Amino acid sequence: MNFFLIPLCYLLGSIPFSFLIAKLWRVDLRQVGSGNVGATNVLRSVGPWPGALAFFLDFMKGWLAVYLAFLVGGGPIFVLTLGLAVIIGHTYPIFLGFKGGKGAATGLGVLAGIAPEIFAVAFIFAFAIIALTRYVSVASILTPWLVATLMFYWQKPIPYLCMTVIVAAFIFVRHLPNVKRLRNGTELRLGGK
């Protein structure tokens, strides 16, 4: 079964779109803002349009991995294997010394590929959280747990449920520095300094 797609999806995830987009504006994301090479730091450090483009491209990495899995007729386990490979590539990219983004945008892309209706609810939920709190990190931490709950409620395949719980825990761990800053009152809000 097309196992060569696993390293291919890891390499796809490793393409540091946010880092490359910021470089077009001569900004090294590792030296500004949160120091993270994700779309949120592009938004804060470069601007809304570059940030939106970075988010879209990181999102599409996840969606494309799932599309490739379905294209070759893979079942839920293979779909999730490619989804996990692209998320790991994004968070631990070989092209940036294994120091990448936090996986939220790419994880949303994977979700859009496997369960579009849950993605729609999660997107609205995340947008509402950001609008109410202006903390992207809060939405990034809470949304995966909503997704896992909806996977259970809508009786999606067990592998999807298990993987969303694992990804939610993974994203939470990647956001532990944000949790610490939230507790200390030093987390950056959108539009804040």
- The structural domains of the chain, with segments of one domain joined by +, span 5-184
pLDDT for the residue 174: 83
What is the residue-level pLDDT of the chain in tens, covering all 193 positions?
A: 588 999 999 999 999 999 999 999 999 999 998 788 989 899 989 999 999 999 999 999 999 999 999 999 989 999 999 999 999 999 999 999 999 888 888 988 999 999 999 999 999 999 999 999 988 889 989 999 999 999 999 999 899 998 889 888 988 888 898 899 999 988 878 766 5
pLDDT for the residue 62: 96
pLDDT for the residue 101: 87
pLDDT for the residue 125: 96
Name the packing angle between helices 136-153 and 158-174 (round to 10°): 160
Please state, in angstroms and as integers, the Cα–Cα distance from residue 32 to each residue in 43, 46, 86, 156, 186, following that order.
12, 10, 25, 40, 16
Average pLDDT of every residue of the chain: 91
pLDDT for the residue 1: 56
Hey, is 43 helix, strand or coil?
Answer: helix
pTM: 0.84
**Contacts (Cβ under 8 Å, ≥6 apart) of 167:** 84, 87, 103, 107, 110, 144
Helices (H), the chain: 5-14, 17-24, 39-45, 48-71, 76-91, 104-114, 116-133, 136-153, 158-174, 176-184
Hey, is 186 helix, strand or coil?
Answer: coil
- List, for residues 147-180, the tens digit of each pLDDT value: 999 999 999 989 999 888 988 898 888 889 889 9
pLDDT for the residue 192: 61
Q: Which tokens in the block code for residue 176?
A: 């532990």
